[in-house]
Amino acid sequence: MELIGMTAAELSAALRRREFSALELAGACLEQARVWEGTIHAFLHLDPGDVLGRARRADELLAAGEGGPLCGIPVAIKDNICVPGMPATCGSRILENFVPPYAADVVERLEAAGAVIFGKTNLDEFAMGSSTENSAFGPTRNPWNPERVPGGSSGGSAAAVAAGVVPLALGSDTGGSIRQPAALCGVCGLKPTYGRVSRYGLIAFASSLDQVGPLGRDARDLAMVMDVLAGHDPRDSTSVESEPCGHLRELEREEKGTIGLPRECFTEGLQGVVHDAVMEAARHFERLGYRLREVSLPHIGYALPAYYLIAPAEASSNLARYDGARYGRRSPVDSDVMEMFAHTRREGFGPEVRRRIMIGTYALSAGYYDAYYLKAQKARTLIKGDFDQAFRDCDLILMPATPGSAFKIGEKSEDPLEMYLSDVYTVAVNLAGLAGLALPCGLAEGLPLGMQLIGRPFDEATILRAAHHYQKDSDHHHRLASPAGTVEDQP
Among 3, 8, 432, 464, binds other proteins (CB under 8 A): 432
Contact range with other proteins by CB under 8 A, out of 35-43, 171-179, 334-342, 391-399: 334-342
We find the least distance from the C-beta atom of residue 83 to other proteins, in angstroms, to be 15
- Residue 391 sits in the site that holds other proteins (CB under 8 A): no
Burial class (CB in 10 A: 0-12, 13-18, 19+), 387: buried
Burial of 85 (C-beta count, 10 Å sphere; 0-12/13-18/19+): exposed
Round to whole Å and give the CA distance between 124 and 414: 15
The CA distance from 77 to 118, in Å, is 7
Our CB check for other proteins shows the closer of 27 and 416 to be 416
Which residues within the stretch 201-230 sit at the binding site for other proteins (CB under 8 A)?
208
- Angstrom CA distances, 415 to 148, 151, 177, 421, stand at 17, 16, 19, 10
Interface with other proteins in residues 400-429 (CB under 8 A): 416-417, 420
Candidates 99-107, 121-129, 151-159, 406-414 — which segment interacts with other proteins by CB under 8 A? 99-107
Min dist. Cβ of residue 282 to other proteins (A): 27
Q: What Rg value do the Cα atoms of the chain yield, rounded?
A: 21
The H or E element containing residue 11 is helix 8-16
Annotated active-site residue 78? The verdict is yes
Cα distance between residue 137 and residue 466, in whole Å = 38
Q: Binders of other proteins among 349-368, rule CB under 8 A?
A: 349, 354-355, 357-359, 361-362, 365, 367-368
Closer to other proteins by CB, 10 or 347: give it: 347
Of the candidate spans 152-160, 273-281, 340-348, 466-474, the one that interacts with other proteins by CB under 8 A turns out to be 340-348
| Closest CB 193 distance from other proteins, rounded Å | 9
Cβ closest to other proteins, residue 179 vs residue 299: 299
| Cross-sheet strand order for the sheet of 258-262 | 43-45, 116-121, 74-78, 168-173, 211-216, 188-191, 435-444, 447-455, 396-400, 258-262, 291-295
Binding mask 283-322 for other proteins (x = CB under 8 A): ----------------x-xx--xx-xx------x---x--
**Separation of alpha carbons 399 and 312, rounded Å:** 26
Q: Please report how many Cα atoms fall inside a 13 Å half-sphere around the Cα of residue 416, on the Cβ side.
A: 12
172 catalytic? Reply is no
Return the number of the residue (65 or 367) whose C-beta is nearest other proteins: 367
Provide the Cα torsion 90, 92, 96, 102; round to 10°: -20
Residue 433 binds to other proteins (criterion: CB under 8 A): yes
Q: Taking the complex as a whole, how short is the minimal distance between the CB of residue 110 and other proteins, in angstroms?
A: 21
